[in-house]
Every structure is written in C-alpha cells, then in structure tokens.
C-alpha cells in the first residue's frame, strides 16, 4: 500500500497544465486586488480605524504581525496592498515563481487577519492552493523564470514532478465534497422542498438582480432542480477519483469500468462544475469565487492533451 502511495506521487510530466493554472489563478488574484484599488477601498480595507480603515487591528488582543511591525498609517495600508499586488503580478508572470507565491500567501494572510470580516471562503481556497505553488515548479513553462533559465518563455520542454497538479485536484475534490456534506440546511433536501437556491436568490446581498420572478412557475421548479443537482454533484464529487482510476486500469474487467471509460463519466462532473460556476457568476455577486474555481480546472487537463489543444504555444 505504501508503495502504491509513493508511486502515486512519483513521476514527471510537461509543466504546461500547472503553468496554465498558475497564470489563470494569478490573473484572477491580480484582478481582485486591482479591483480593491479601482473601488478606492485600499485604505478602508487594509487600514486601521484611526486612519479611515475598518480594521480594529490595533485595539484587539491579537494584533496581526503586520501591524506589530509597522505603524497603523495610510502608508502601511497602501504598502501591504502594493506588496500583495506586485507579488500577484510576479506570480502570474512566473518571475521568481515560488518566492512570489510565498510572499503573496503571507501578505494575503496578513490582510485576512487585519480585516477578518472581509475575508471569504474563496480567499482561503486561493491561499490553500498557493501553499502548493510555494514548492511546485510552476515557473518551468510560460514564465520569466523559464525565459531566464532556458532562453525561451515557453521553457525547454523539460518535464517536472507531477504531484503538484495532483494535489490541486485533491483540493478541488475536497472543496466540492466538503461543501456538499456541510450543507446542513434543510432547504437543500426534499424536506425543505429543495428551496435553497430559491431562497439564496431572494437575498439582496447575494443576488445580482431582483429574482422575485422565481416564485412563479416554471422558474421555481428550475431553482429546485438547481438545488438538487448542486447537492448531488457536490456529495458525489469524489467519484471522479473512481472514474479516473478506471481509466488508468482500462485493461481490467468490469462492466462499470467499461461503461465509465466508454462515456468518460468524469467529464460529467467536471463540466457540471464549470457550468455551475458560470451560472453562479451570472446570477450572484460572489466576486472572484467562480473565476478562481475555474482557474483551477486546467489541472484536470493532462499536459499531453493540453499540448495537442494548444500546439502553437504548447512548446
């Protein structure tokens, strides 16, 4: 069993899938912090109350390290935002990729401690994934690191370890499954008439538009279908591991293995997830949530397949 575990995390592959996740996630994170600047919210969100911020960092017991080291001034607030933004840009471009990921992770964590109320689940997810990038060779392709090392922005096609991409997939599976099992609200289930999505859309803090019309049929029925599909999709998400295992052991017998391999069952979960996020982006004010989740999806695409899809820039 141990040997199988070791084998699972051993091996190499082309770095293009990992690099694509880095680029997309880096772009989403950079856009997020530029949005704070565009909305003129740098000082309100990063600053302490004395200088016009919303944070009580200097008056509560557990003052974040950042404000232990630096004074609670406007300049400190702007500086932390600038460090995070530059690290996000550097991470996106693959410039000192691992170091950029580490600086981004630690700076962002300080921001989360400065104003915990402004930190949402998707911020935590991004930081969880940045952990992986602090040690992953994500700068081996489509990066300034690759340009520096090989003379080509695309890298030299050297293979890198495959475990970081697998860990990102584990994280994706964990978030969907855990989100499913932690849905304890009765309205996700038949006893609550699968009305969760309907009620969420009636929340003016969340809804992008006025969804009062969903009280009428057939719209209410569609929201019920949406709730049911969401809970079914999330609770069963770990099945993608089984479908993936079946594909790797296609030469073995079994009717379910045959069926799964013929119909590519895992695509059903992956595509449902993608559609789910696009619908969320269209209907709710969830900020980067759908886009950051979708940024992780290239981890599902094997580097060889991605190379065939992107022949010109695939290297």
Partner 1 sequence: MTRRDHVRAALIAIALLAHGVYALPLPRAVTDTMLHEDWRQRDILRWQGWLASAGISLSVPQLEGIVVRGSAVSGGLHKTLKRPLKPLFTLTQSDQAWGLFAAATRKPERVVVEVRRGGPSTPWEPVLRRLDPCCTWREDQFRYRRIRGVWDGNKDRAKAAYDPFVDWVARNAFADFPDAERVRVHLEQSRSVYPWDEPDPEVKIRHRRQRSRSSL
For partner 1, the binding residues in 223-252 under the rule CB under 8 A are none
Q: Indicate whether 200 belongs to the interface with partner 1 (CB under 8 A).
A: yes
How far, in Å, CA of 67 to CA of 174, rounded? Answer: 33
Buried b (16+ CB within 10 A) or exposed e, 201-240: bbeeeebeeebeebeeeeebeebbebbbebbebbbebebb
CA distance 289 to 308: 29
Decide: is 152 part of the binding site for partner 1 (CB under 8 A): no
Which of 6, 262, 311, 312 is close enough to bind partner 1 by CB under 8 A?
Answer: 6
Nearer to partner 1, 36 or 270 (CB): 36
Give the range of 46-54, 89-97, 151-159, 306-314 binding partner 1 by CB under 8 A.
46-54
Instruction: Pick the closer one to partner 1 by CB: 8 or 250.
Output: 8
Q: Which among 14-22, 105-113, 237-245, 298-306 is the span making contact with partner 1, rule CB under 8 A?
A: 105-113
The count of residues interacting with partner 1 (CB under 8 A) is: 79
Residues 273-302 that bind partner 1 (CB under 8 A): 285-287, 289
Q: Which of 18, 19, 42, 115 binds partner 1 (CB under 8 A)?
A: 115
Q: Which of 78, 79, 174, 306 binds partner 1 (CB under 8 A)?
A: 174
Cβ nearer to partner 1, comparing 23 with 161: 161
* Shortest spacing between CB 103 and partner 1, in angstroms: 12
Q: Which residues lie closer than 8 Å to 49 by C-beta, 6 or more apart?
A: 55, 56, 58, 59
Q: Binding residue for partner 1 (CB under 8 A) from 95, 144, 153, 220? A: 220
- Give the one residue of 71, 170, 241, 264 binding partner 1; rule: CB under 8 A: 170
Nearer Cβ to partner 1 (71/185): 185
Binders of partner 1 in range 65-104 (CB under 8 A): none
Q: Which of 12, 68, 152, 215 binds partner 1 (CB under 8 A)?
A: 215
Q: Decide whether 116 or 254 has the Cβ nearer to partner 1.
A: 116
- Is residue 202 close enough to count as binding partner 1 by CB under 8 A? yes
Intra-chain end-to-end CA distance of the chain, in Å: 37
Closest CB 12 distance from partner 1, rounded Å: 11
From the list 152, 129, 138, the residue with the least C-alpha distance to 303 is: 138
From residue 124 to residue 143, the character string flagging contacts with partner 1 as x (rule: CB under 8 A) and all else as - is xx-xx--x------------
């Amino acid at each position: 069993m141990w040997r199988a575990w070791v084998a699972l995390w051993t091996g190499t592959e082309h770095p293009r899938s990992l690099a694509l996740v880095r680029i997309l996630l880096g772009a989403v994170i950079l856009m997020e912090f530029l949005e704070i600047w565009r909305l003129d919210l740098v000082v309100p969100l990063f600053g302490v109350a004395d200088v016009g911020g919303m944070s009580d960092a200097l008056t509560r017991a557990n003052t974040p390290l950042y404000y232990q080291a630096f004074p609670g001034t406007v300049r400190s607030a702007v500086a932390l935002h600038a460090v995070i933004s530059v690290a996000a840009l550097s991470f996106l471009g693959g410039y000192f990729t691992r170091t950029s990921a580490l600086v981004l992770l630690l700076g962002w964590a300080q921001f989360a401690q400065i104003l915990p109320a402004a930190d949402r689940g998707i911020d935590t997810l991004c930081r969880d994934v940045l952990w992986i990038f602090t040690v992953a060779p994500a700068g081996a392709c489509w990066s300034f690191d690759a340009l520096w090392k090989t003379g080509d922005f695309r890298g030299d096609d050297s293979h890198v370890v495959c475990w970081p991409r697998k860990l990102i997939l584990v994280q994706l599976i964990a978030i969907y499954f855990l989100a499913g099992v932690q849905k304890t609200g009765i309205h996700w289930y038949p006893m609550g008439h699968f009305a969760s999505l309907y009620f969420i859309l009636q929340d003016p803090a969340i809804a992008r538009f006025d969804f009062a019309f969903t009280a009428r049929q057939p719209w209410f029925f569609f929201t019920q279908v949406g709730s049911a599909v969401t809970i079914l999709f999330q609770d069963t998400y770990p099945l993608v591991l089984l479908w993936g295992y079946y594909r790797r052991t296609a030469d073995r017998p079994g009717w379910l293995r045959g069926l799964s391999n013929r119909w590519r069952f895992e695509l059903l979960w992956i595509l449902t997830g993608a559609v789910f996020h696009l619908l969320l982006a269209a209907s709710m004010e969830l900020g980067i949530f759908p886009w950051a989740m979708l940024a992780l999806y290239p981890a599902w695409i094997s580097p060889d397949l991605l190379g065939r899809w992107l022949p010109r820039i695939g290297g």
